[in-house]
Amino acid sequence: MTATELRLRTPRHRVSRKALLWWTLRAVLQCAGLIIVQVALLLFADLDLMRWTLPITAGLAVLYVAVMPQWRYRVHSWEFTELAVYTLTGWLSQEWRVAPASRIQTVDTNRGPLQQLLGLATVTVTTASAAGPLEIAGLDHDDAVRLVDELTETTQATRGDAT
Amino acid sequence: MSGPTGLSGLPKAPDHVEPAPEWGRLDARMLVVRPLHEIVGFVPVLVALLVFGTGDAWRVLLSLAVIVLLVLRGLFSWLTTRYRISESQVELHSGLLSRKRKAVPRDRIRTADLTAKFGHRLFGLSAIRIGTGQHAKGKADGLLLDAVPVPEAERLRVVLLQRGVGHREAAVETAPAEARSTAIATLHRSWLRFAPLSLSGLLSIGAVIGVLVNAANEVDVRISRMAAVKEVVRWARESSLVLVVAVAIAVVLVLAVLGSLLKYVLQYAGYRLTRQADGTVRVTRGLLTTRSVSIEEKRLRGVQVGEPMLLRAGHGAKVSAVTTGLGKEQGGSLLLPPAPRAEAHRVVAEVLRLPEPPTSAELTRHPRRALARRLVRAVGAAVLVEAALLLTVAAWDWPLVLPLAWLVALPAAAWLGVDRYRRLGHALTERYLVSRTGSLDTKTVALQRDGIIGWRIRRTWFQRRTGLMTVTATTAAGRGAYSVPDIGEADGVALALDAVPGLLRPFAEPVSPESRPTPS
C-alpha cells in the first residue's frame, strides 16, 4: 500500500450551468408523467389506492425537482489529460470513471430535444470494454465540440488496437 | 475499428499456408444435417402422433408441411451462403430475403470454437465460430461457418489463429497439430461425484417435463386421463401429506442426480485441456456434441474460479477463461468442468504459466462495515417478505402457515449475509488483480493487471456514510467489468492506484484537512 493515504479528487471542470435547467426540466417532465398516470387512474378507473399514492408521489416529486439538479450540478465534473479521461457523475450514488487515452475507441456527442433547446450536448467516450463508457452530460454544445476534437486528436496520437 | 496494424509492413505469408482466396460453399451434406437438427425438436411430437394419433389428418399434414419447409430452408441457406478467406479478412455472405454480409479482419481473430453436434458428426462435419475482440452490442460476436468438413475446420483453425498470433508461420505448418500439444488436464472418472453438486440436474428435469407436457398437449393426450397418472394422484390423495412430500422430494432428488450425471457425461466426456505450440490453449470435450475451443493465449486476460455453494461444500470448483472473443453463449469459456478444488487451482497456475495460482492467494478482508451492509441486505429482504406475508394474513385472511414457515428463512438469510462477507476479499499479485465475491455463487476472478483498461469507482449514499466504495476494473475481456465491492475508501484508492500504475495517480490527492472538499 502507498505510504500516505490518498483519495480521488474532484475533476477540474464543471458542466455548463444550463445543465441545472436541463436536469430540472427533465425531472419535472418525468414526475409530471407519473402524476398524470395516477390522476388518470383515479378519475377514469376509480382506483382508490391513488388517493394515497398521489400526495406521496407529489411530495417526493417536489423534493426530487428541488434537490436533484442542484446536487448533480455540484457533483458532475470532468477532466482530461493526454493520458486519460476522468469523470465524476451521480448525486445519491456517485461514480468516478477513468479511461486511458490509449484505450479510447470512439468519442460521440448526442443531444436530445431538451438539450438542443438549451444548447447542450452529452459526450460519450467508449473503450473496448462493454461496461466502461464515460458520459459527460450537460456540456455547453461548443465546449462539447471542442472536447471531442481534442479527444480525437489525443487518441489518434496514441493508437493501439485498444483491446 | 480500422487499421490492420502489423499487416502492411510484413512479408506475405508463404503460399502453401494460405487457403485459396475463392468463394467457397459450406459442405453440401449440410442439406441433410441442418433439417435433421431442426427436426429433432419435433421428434417427440411425431412419435406421439404416430402412437397416440387420433387419425387427425390435418395434424399429420401440418407436420409434413413443416418438415418440407425446414428442408427447403436448409436448401436455400446452403445455396446462398458463401465464405472466403482472403489475405486480410474472412468474409461470409448469407441470406436469401435479407442478404447478410459479414467480414472479420484476420488480425482481429482471437478464438476459434469448433462445435460438432451429433448430426454434424454423423457426416464428419464441424461448425467453426471465429471470435474477435470486439463487443458488438446485442449481436453475436464474430462469425459462424456451419458447417465444413472436420479436416477443413482444423485447417481453418490453424491458419486463422496463426495469423492472430502474429506470423509464426513455418513451424506450425510442418507437423500435425496434435504432435506439439502438451496436456494440462484431462477428465478423471472420479470427478463425476461433482456432477450432482450443480443445480443443472434440477433445471434439466424441469426442461424435460416442460417438453413432454408440451408435446402431450400438442397431440391431445390428456395427461390427467392417463391410467398411471390417475393411479399416482389417487395414492397421493389417500396418503398422509408428510409421506407425499417426502416421496416427492425423494423422486425429484433421484431424478436430479441422474439428470446431472447424464449432463456431466454428455458435456464433458473426453474433456482435455491442452496448450498448443501455436500459442493457443485448447479445450476439447463432449460426448454427442463435441466442442473444441481454442483461445489465443496472448488474449487470455485472466481466469475465474467458480464455486457455487454446493460445489464448494464438496470441495469442488470449476474454471473459466476471461478472454476476448468468446461470446456470452453457454460454456464457451469453460476451462475446467466441476473438479476437485486443488485441481482447479493447479489448472489456473498452468494456464497462466505461473508457479502459484493467483486465485488461491491470501486475500485481504474487507472492513467490518461491509458485513453490516451484507446483513442489512440479506436480512432486510427476508424481513420485508415476512412483513408482506403477515399483511396477507391481516388483510385477506391467508393461512398463518406461510409467515410461520418463512421464519425459517430469517436465520438462513443472516447466515448468508455473514458468509457473503466471509467470502469477500481482494489481493494484488505481481501480475493479477484478484477479487472474490458471492456466497451462493462464489466467484474468484484473477484479472491480468495489463488487461485493465479503466476504472469505475462507485460510492452510494450509504457507502459514503460508512467510508466504503466499490472498485470496478473494466476490461475488454469476459464480462467487461470485474468488481471489488465494499472495500475501505483508502484501500480502494490504493488498490486502483497500485494495480495500474500511472492511470489514476494524476487524479489522486493526499487526504488532508485543507484540501478541496469532495462533494458529499
Question: For the segment B338-396, what is each residue's pLDDT rounded down to a tens digit?
Answer: 999 999 999 999 999 999 999 998 999 999 999 999 999 999 999 999 999 888 888 88
Is the distance from CB of B26 to CB of B83 less than 8 angstroms?
Answer: yes
**More confident position, B2 or B57:** B57
Rounded Cα distance, B204 and B330, in Å: 15
pLDDT-wise least confident of B75-89, B182-196, B213-227, B327-341: B213-227
Out of B481, B498, B507, the one facing A8 most closely (by C-beta) is B507
B24-174 sits in which CATH class? mainly beta
Confidence of residue B513 (pLDDT cuts 50, 70, 90): low
Percent of chain A with pLDDT over 90: 60
Please tell me what DSSP assigns to residue A117: H
B252 compared with B136, residue with greater pLDDT? B252
Contacts of A4 in chain B (CB under 8 A): 510-511
- Return the residue in A8, A92, A103 with the most chain B beta carbons within 10 A, the one to mutate for interface testing: A8
Question: What's residue A47's pLDDT?
Answer: 77
Q: How confident is the model at residue B9 (pLDDT cuts 50, 70, 90)?
A: very low
What ranges do the domains of chain B cover?
24-174, 192-268, 297-365+424-507, 368-420
Q: B424 to chain A, minimum CA–CA distance in Å?
A: 19
Instruction: Determine the pLDDT at residue B119.
Output: 86
Closest chain B residue to the Cα of A10, Cα to Cα: B518
pLDDT at B30 over 90: no
Q: How confident is the model at residue B15 (pLDDT cuts 50, 70, 90)?
A: very low
Closest residue in chain B to residue A8, using alpha carbons only: B508
Q: How many angstroms separate the CA atoms of B472 and B348, rounded?
A: 22
Taking residues A138-154, report their average pLDDT: 90
Q: At residue B90, does pLDDT exceed 90? A: no
Q: Band of the pLDDT at A159, cuts 50, 70, 90?
A: low
Average pLDDT, whole number, for chain A?
88
Q: How far, in Å, CA of B508 to CA of B229, rounded?
A: 70
Please indicate if any CB of chain A lies within 8 Å of the CB of B511. Answer: yes
For residue B51, the model assigns a pLDDT of 63
pLDDT of residue B164: 44
B165 has a pLDDT exceeding 80:
no
Q: What pLDDT, on the 0 to 100 scale, is given for residue B136?
A: 47
Cell for B301? 486476460
What's the average model confidence in pLDDT over A33-49? 87
Which pLDDT does position B167 carry in this prediction?
45
C-alpha cell at B396: 385477506
Q: B474 and A131: CB-CB below 8 Å?
A: yes
How many angstroms separate the Cα of B112 from the Cα of each of B144, B325, B330, B359, B405?
Answer: 10, 9, 15, 26, 51
- Specify the higher pLDDT residue, B214 or A11: A11
User: Looking at the complex, does the CB of residue B501 fall below 8 Å from at least one CB of chain A?
Assistant: no
Would you say residue B192 has pLDDT above 60? yes
Predicted pLDDT at B48 = 65
Cα B166 from chain centroid (whole Å): 28
Rounded alpha-carbon distances, angstroms, from residue B158 to A98, B180, B360, B411 = 38, 13, 34, 55
Predicted pLDDT at B353: 93
- Please tell me which residue of chain A has the smallest CA distance to B469: A95
- A149 phi-psi bin (left φ>0, alpha ψ -120 to 50, beta other): alpha
pLDDT grade, residue A2 (50/70/90)? very low
Whole-number percent of chain B with pLDDT over 90: 36
Looking at the predicted structure, is the pLDDT value of residue B516 above 70? no
Any CB–CB contact under 8 A between A4 and chain B?
A: yes
Tell me how close the Cα of B414 comes to any Cα of chain A, in angstroms.
Answer: 26
Q: How far apart are CA B317 and CA B309, in angstroms?
A: 10
> Which value does ipTM take for this structure?
0.90
- What is the spatial distance between Cα A9 and Cα A88, in angstroms, rounded to a whole number? 10
Cα separation of B442 and A126, whole Å?
A: 30
Residue B170 has pLDDT above 50, yes or no: no
Distance separating alpha carbons of residues B404 and B235, to the nearest angstrom: 29
pLDDT at B397: 79
Cβ–Cβ under 8 Å, residues B463 and B486:
yes
Residue B143: is its pLDDT beyond 90?
no
Coil, helix or strand at residue B143: strand
Identify which of B3, B135, B299 has the shortest CB distance to residue A159. Answer: B3
Task: State the amino acid at position A115 in one-letter form.
Answer: Q
Instruction: Compute the nearest-CA separation of A98 from chain B (Å).
Output: 5
Mean pLDDT, rounded, of chain B = 82
- The reported pLDDT for the residue numbered B2 is 38
Query: What span, in angstroms and rounded, lies between the C-alpha atoms of B249 and B255?
Result: 10
Average pLDDT score over residue span A34-38: 91
pLDDT confidence band for B277 (50 / 70 / 90): confident
pLDDT exceeds cutoff 80 at B222: no
Most confident residue range from A88-92, B37-41, B149-153: A88-92
For residues A11-25, average pLDDT: 94
Instruction: State the average pLDDT over residues A143-160.
Output: 82
Instruction: For residue B108, give how far its alpha carbon lies from the nearest alpha carbon of chain A (Å).
Output: 9
Looking from the CA of B432 toward its CB, the CA atoms found within 13 Å total 28
Across the range B441-468, mean pLDDT stands at: 94
Asked whether residue B169 carries a pLDDT value surpassing 50, the answer given is: no
On the question of pLDDT at B135 being above 80, the answer is: no
Average pLDDT over residues A18-47: 91
Q: Which fold has domain A76-157?
A: PH-domain like (2.30.29)
Q: Which residue has the higher pLDDT, B143 or B360?
A: B360
Question: Virtual CA dihedral for B408, B411, B414, B419, nearest 10 degrees?
Answer: -100
Please count the other Cβ atoms lying within 10 Å of the Cβ belonging to residue B204. Answer: 18
pLDDT band at B53 (very low <50, low <70, confident <90, very high): low
Give the pLDDT confidence score for residue B23 in this predicted structure.
84
Percent of chain B exceeding pLDDT 70 equals 82
Least confident of A62-66, A103-107, B461-465: A103-107
Q: Is the pLDDT of residue B59 over 80?
A: no
A99 and chain B: CB distance < 8 Å anywhere? Answer: yes
Give the tens place of pLDDT for each residue, B249-260: 898 888 888 888
Q: How far apart are CA B67 and CA B69, in angstroms?
A: 5
Kindly indicate the confidence band of residue A32, based on its pLDDT and cuts at 50, 70 and 90. very high
Inspect the interface and report whether the beta carbons of A128 and B508 lie closer than 8 Å.
Answer: no
B478-507 pLDDT per residue, tens: 888 999 999 999 999 999 999 998 899 899
Q: Determine whether the interchain pair B516/A10 forms a contact, defined as Cβ–Cβ distance below 8 Å.
A: yes
Task: Look at chain B and count its residues.
Answer: 520
* A127 to B456: CB separation less than 8 angstroms, yes or no: no
